[in-house]
A and B are shown apart, each in its own frame.
Chain A
């Protein structure tokens, strides 16, 4: 964002126009005019609201506003712990003033300018927090310096700054607040760097101030002075004064007011820049383009800012601005009447317009309408609103270099999109556990108030990069792992040894337990055991214990697990060539079964079953010359017909297996059986494992709805008419409870089911997937499977699935220190009680999300501890316990909570929560609940942590500034808002998929990665910089690659150079590109190589092989691609980012009022 903003800002005025026009049709164009001013305003306004309140801050506001935009700021905050707030604010200003500042901190591009600003900001920030007075000045200086571009802003800053440091601070705070993100960041800094004490207090003070005295005064003061309109104007003017725009703004503002505020909220920063830039031009031009647009644009920015206006409205700004906006709008309206309406509509969210929003947001129609009534609707400048790309890039550049050391409690790890190394110094790596917040409110009241879910996303068997060491295996001997007597927590770094090491006190329940004699060790002078560094369980966050026989089923050490391959050989499967393909692949794949590190061959045994209406088992005992086939037709009462010879060692039975795999396709080549069974197949596998007394995994390759007479027989109940009705949930629920019971049995035996589906029509994934889901298995779906196009994908998935590390018969328990408790679990597993998560199989990609609730007060001193213990059987049949420990901070100030949140994790949780919700509630209810919760989160922040700025300003916590955009993506996802082309099976499939995703996967799934291939540097192995998921960002002359973890879409613009097309596709013209390609042709040229290497690199990163789709611009397939452009309005009615942001703002304002 910041970058963009900066960029925009850079060229501000000049560019604006083009940009706008380019961007947003007339509406925007129109906006430009007002927009410019507005943008500035917006920025200003944005800040303004905040500013307005603190009239003086106006200067700040701009800055602040920018800060808010300053999402970059937030980055800063992240990166530099300084005074995020300030920075935020600062940056924000920069953006407004000159994007540089905002981005400055975060973005390299803007760095220079920004840096200055940033510094300034920082300083400001620092001053604000630490020594507001002093720093302000400092900042001021900077500001001025930086001011150049944002002269006006700077000026404002300076002005403000100088006026009253305190004011500045306030303003800063406010700004921070407004920026939200900034503020959020600010607090932390305060806590951390700023002289936590001072800063914190100040911060808190300031924050609270907002609410409380200090702020109030300010607000009051602000309020009064700024009085909405006047403020806005003045403010704007002041900063802008230098610029002509300001004046323009005023006018524009009036009309745009609403807009500005809204924009300010989020976009402000970004908006300002862009708007700022454009505006000027637009201003001039605006009239022209502005036309109606002019008005609208402003309004749009306003949209974002719209809140501000309201805030202003609500705030001190009496009616003026308000009137200006709403009421006023009318006046201004004259020209803008329509606009206002729209604006209102959009703004309306804020105000009356709500209806529109209601519609708009969910329905977007309003928005949609905007285009129609192009003129009025002004939109926020997309560049001014928090940009995921920017945030990701910032985090990558700031945190990617240094290893993340886990020694410190409550440390927020780098984003999942950042490549970083982890050094385990006592807490589990974020690869294993990520939390929504690393600072937990001390009381449940606080937690309730904030509405921030406390959840941990746990991936117990996560794969580590080769540079990191796997958890050490600890053997405590025959008596088993040392555990607390009462709560049974396992020995971990947080256990306190007392009495010279003879006893230890449990960090979870405080119970004192004798140290077993064989484990005794003396303590050193610091109370640490002498062998502290020798024992992983005392010094590391993650490690494994060797389990004793007490931890085994029936008190017997487990046998090595088994893999059973169960292949559908009905007509469809045979005809499509699938059966032959699988058999061919298995011949080689069987040599790559997972094995324990140093073992020569895998201990896993394999078995084979084929089936259609009946099941065929195969005896592949090594002593046989030929495999033997055993047909079981009694599907109503499934059993395993053989014991010896069904599960065999691959090496011993190699020739028999090869012979079998050769013959299977032949045997069924002439089959005419089209019906299949399904439940009996699982039962068969289950019985086989039972008979062999081992755990294992079934790989089922299935093609059709099981309609043959058998238990678990299903009907085709697909009914699109149910969508958007109260009965929609039934589509996600299994048809029959039969599969639930079956799943229960499977879990009891440790029988994990992986399902590969090849449907040509509805096959009821929701029901078929039940067992897979509850046993911790994976589903893979290849609709309309065709050998040529889907073969690679399927085979790669199969290989990965077979080879990946997996634990069996797993039980996971999450223990927490007193005060919180794990209350809810999401993921692919089964629970027979409320605490133990049981999984028949758990592979390295499966993730469990755990939600915590308070049951007592926590203390800031002791913090909170999590211990996740996973008991499982390794692929060699060894029973082990994997332990992950994580310590978190606790806070009494909400600001601390908001400063230590992780949005990606939060989204992961929210998505899972929502996706589970669709099972029991109408989808609309789920969506509304999501929006409501997020609005509450943000409103709480606004109310308690942000400065008491005008209500019209949208202020986002730095850590959560991407929450709206991501949340919108969740809301628009196929499960919650299906388009017409999304099948019921797709939805069920995705629903189950998401439930097991880790944070990185949900991140890219909801907000796909869009890479401009033509910008790739063919000489380096790095990826081109990602761009935001909006059609506006695409250029007709470029080729883009979009990936979301399931698909890779290569989009080719109509104007792409012929040479590139030739290089990449091997055809001479755009029209000759076949969109039936499933792989890129292998061509000997650098571009082709580069692109293919990018594709390969992406494929390696994901747990599933992504489907490659070629989409040509203006081709009918483009719809599919556009579906992934999540910042745009979606065809199914999903709101665009901008619209949603406005809606969010409206919601927040409603909550606040």
Chain B
């Protein structure tokens, strides 16, 4: 039999699902004792090369409260042409089209290998994709130029039928009309005044002429698609126009006196963008792409005043409750984000500046709508340029790797309830029998809206076992979960992807080993981390850490093997062995530690953490470190200070950064120019190897990581030093001898110390 590892991997491959537990404890009580909740990471649109979509409607359970989709788990009576819903046990007639089914003539959705299946359905009018650029003009000339070029370039990447629109902002907000010949027109809005959607539409002339409503006569609202055409035009039509328009974009002309920040009306610009789409194309796939080069400095959503002498808020200010603008601004952007999400649109934020740009306040725009968030130093960096380009990446089948307006419906068998979800989604507030009262993440619903998603977008979904201890599940009983994701494909098709999975129940008292063995510590680490990050958004950092610690200790107590009060006797089984280490690094990660990070950076990191898939998430939690040396082929090494050796080149991938670190000796060799000498070509190859590997990562990662090439003693080496386990510090340097590694100047505890404490606490009878 395949190992659990294989099983897990196989399931992930096929369904894009990873559960923390792959054998489920069969009672609520036992489940809570497992410490790590029953939960899964779901990648709804996981790329499946081998999954051709079927071109018909799914068959639904006829019970209105259920509406589960026919799946391989359902029992089918081929003779009666009936099927029983495996969630509600409703018996359903097959629709007429299924008249010919039999055991040998099964529709795809009944075949076990199609536990995940995708339907293409014809529903509603197909509307083209919409891309609305919202561009900050308060940029340095160089930055603006680079941004303009990127935007112009992007036009060629868009599908020809896509509609594009342009809003620029600085002190004012300009909505550019794209249809006109000759004079270029734009509608201008004051950057300090928040407007309702209605006002915006009125001012843009988008509202239909007021037709007096006469009673007794049904009001006809003839569709006037042309009305909005002034601002959103098909790319192929106004390609040239827009290129010129972008080319003529000027820096915001309003003078910025010394000691002032430029006045930047990001809040209003976004509000107008949202209002524009809201009025013209509700519930269609649309991206609002915000490019900003600094913090909003006026109007609603203002993050910092225009006085340079007032620095933008820091964590310190926030802790001291000194960030007076933060709450208001956050509220503004939250309102916007919710509106956007309600309309099924998404907001991307591309923020490039050396200082903070207010991502903390604006993060919800991207978080709630599934938009991208990209943070860079300048628009004139490859980080931005390539990341932006990658937004328009196409998949293997030549289709954009983006989908819009998805809704995720989760159905569970009776023993399970849904506690919540964490990811780039909002609740659709669908109450139902399978919704738990205990919330984890965004709860209280069985449906979520994900306005934008790509093949890697991953949600964490938490369940609660509700089966009572005294109502044992029959032997061999399986719990099932069905994920129904409806979305607009980038080809504008409406699609539905249905994933139905089942897991065995096990009695935790008698079959704990099974459960233990089926523990997916990677998934569990990520799921716990998401919970931790989710909490960190609203709670004090130390509280979250304490909570995490407690969970870890409880887990160790539950699953460790030890003698009471004997730390040395403590052992963890293989399926748990890595978990404490993940937790150790998680505690040190920027997702939970704000020290040394600006609020914007924290928001940025957290944003990506809660949407990336498991592999990426793990990299984020515990960066990967490869060593290159003459001693052998490149090998992954411990993320430990002891790995930092003079004759090694290290390549660290933290997801956000790729660091290439030349050891002391290597660096000296390089300075001496050995790589240029033919006789040291091998050295040259050694130098080149990590670069090539880094390049590979850079090519595929979104957003593109910050690429750092440094060496021993280099200032940028801090990126590496801050990540590795400080096994050697200035405190214990001599104690450990000088055999190897590099001391880290920190007071942080090292993994060893952490583990010691953990063992001590786990075995302690007091806790």
Residues of A within 8 A of B (CB): 614, 616-618, 624, 626-634, 637, 639, 641-645, 660, 663, 666-667, 691
Contacts and interface: CB of A to CB of B under 8 A. Distances in A.
B195 A629 contact: no
Given A633-B204, A633-B205, A663 B182 contact: yes
B183 A629 contact: yes
A614 B205 CA distance: 10
A642 B185 CA distance: 13
Given A634-B189, A643-B254, A667-B183, 15 more contacts: A614-B203, A617-B188, A626-B182, A627-B183, A628-B183, A629-B183, A629-B186, A630-B174, A630-B187, A632-B187, A632-B189, A633-B203, A639-B172, A639-B190, A644-B250
B661 to A, nearest CB: 48
A396 B247 CA distance: 69
Nearest to B187: A631
B186 A630 contact: yes
Contacts, number: 67
A35 B177 CA distance: 83
A634 B183 contact: no
B202 interface: yes
A645 B174 contact: no
Nearest to B255: A643
A629 B185 contact: yes
A660 B184 CA distance: 11
Contacts of B250: 644
B692 interface: no
B103 interface: no
Nearest to A624: B248
Contacts of A644: 250, 253
B253 A631 contact: no
Contacts of B254: 643, 691
B327 interface: no
A627 B186 CA distance: 12
A626 B185 CA distance: 11
What is the predominant secondary structure among interface residues of chain B facing chain A? mixed
Nearest to B171: A643
A113 B253 CA distance: 80
Interface residues of B, number: 24
B184 to A, nearest CB: 5
A634 B184 CA distance: 19
B184 A628 contact: yes
A645 B253 contact: yes
Closest 5 pairs between A and B when the two form their complex, measured CB to CB = A633-B203, A641-B188, A644-B253, A629-B185, A631-B187
Contacts of B188: 617, 630-632, 641-642
Contacts of A666: 182
A618 B204 CA distance: 17
B324 interface: no
- Greatest chain B CB density within 10 A among A618, A627, A643, A660 is at A643
Contacts of A660: 183
Nearest to B202: A633
B469 interface: no
Nearest to B254: A643
A376 B199 CA distance: 74
Contacts of A663: 182-183
Nearest to B185: A629
B743 to A, nearest CB: 56
Contact of A631 (B186, B199, B202): B186
B190 A637 contact: yes
Nearest to B191: A639
A629 B193 contact: no
Contacts of B193: 634, 637
Interface of B: 172, 174, 177, 182-190, 193, 195, 199, 202-205, 248, 250, 253-255
Contact of A634 (B182, B185, B203): B203
Contact of B184 (A617, A629, A641): A629
A630 B400 CA distance: 35
Contacts of A618: 183
A1033 B745 CA distance: 113
A556 to B, nearest CB: 14
13 contacts: A626-B184, A628-B184, A628-B186, A630-B185, A630-B186, A630-B187, A633-B205, A634-B195, A637-B190, A641-B174, A643-B253, A643-B255, A645-B253
Contacts of B253: 642-645
A667 B181 CA distance: 10
A689 to B, nearest CB: 15
Contacts of B204: 633
A919 B193 CA distance: 38
A667 B180 CA distance: 10
A630 B190 CA distance: 12
A641 B248 CA distance: 17
Contact of A626 (B183, B189, B202): B183
Contacts of A624: 248
Given A663-B182, A663-B183, A634 B205 contact: no
A641 to B, nearest CB: 3
B141 to A, nearest CB: 14
Nearest to B245: A628
A245 B255 CA distance: 91
Contacts of A626: 182-184
A663 B195 CA distance: 31
A644 B189 CA distance: 17
B185 A631 contact: yes
Contacts of B184: 626, 628-629
Nearest to A617: B188
B208 to A, nearest CB: 14
A686 B731 CA distance: 69
A999 B107 CA distance: 102
Contacts of B185: 616, 628-631
A486 to B, nearest CB: 40
Nearest to A621: B250
Nearest to A642: B253
A629 B245 CA distance: 12
B195 to A, nearest CB: 7
Counting chain B CB atoms within 10 Å of each CB, which of A618, A624, A629, A691 scores highest? A629
A88 to B, nearest CB: 71
B83 to A, nearest CB: 57
A713 to B, nearest CB: 15
A11 to B, nearest CB: 75
Given A624-B248, A643-B255, A645-B253, A633 B187 contact: yes
A663 B202 CA distance: 25
Contacts of A643: 253-255
A484 to B, nearest CB: 39
Contacts of A629: 183-186
Contacts of B174: 630, 641
A693 to B, nearest CB: 10
Contacts of B187: 630-633
A639 B190 CA distance: 7
Contacts of B205: 614, 633
A881 to B, nearest CB: 31
Contacts of A633: 187, 189, 202-205
Contacts of A630: 174, 185-188
Most central of B182, B195, B255 by chain A CB within 10 Å: B182
A514 to B, nearest CB: 41
Contacts of A631: 177, 185-188
Given A633-B187, A633-B203, A641 B172 contact: yes
A930 B463 CA distance: 94
Nearest to A638: B190
Contacts of B186: 628-631
A631 B188 CA distance: 5
Contacts of A614: 203, 205
Contacts of B248: 624, 628
Q: Which of B187, B188, B205 has the most CB of A within 10 A?
A: B188
A626 B177 CA distance: 15
A626 B184 CA distance: 8
A661 to B, nearest CB: 11
Nearest to B189: A634
